[in-house]
Amino acid sequence: MNYGWIEIVLFYGGAITFGVWQWLKMDRMLKKTRAEKAAKDAAEREGEGPAA
C-alpha cells in the first residue's frame, strides 16, 4: 500500500478545511460589519445622530 496518498489526502484535506473555515469566518464578519454600518447610516439619515 502506498502511504504517500494517505499523507497527501490528510495534508490537503486539512489545508482545504482550514481555508474554507477562514473563508466562512470572514464572510460572517463582513456581513456583521456591513449590517452595523447600514444600521448606523440609516440612523444618521433619520436625523437621530450617530448610533453609539
> Would you say 51 and 43 are in contact if contact means Cβ atoms under 8 Å apart?
yes
Average of per-residue pLDDT across 19-33? 97
**3-18 pLDDT per residue, tens:** 899 999 999 999 999 9
Residue 37 vs residue 49, higher pLDDT:
37
What is the value of pTM for the model shown? 0.65
SS3 (DSSP) at 2: coil
pLDDT at position 35, please? 95
Q: How many residues does the chain have?
A: 52
The answer on pLDDT for 51 being more than 80 is no
Cα separation, 32 vs 24, in Å, equals 12
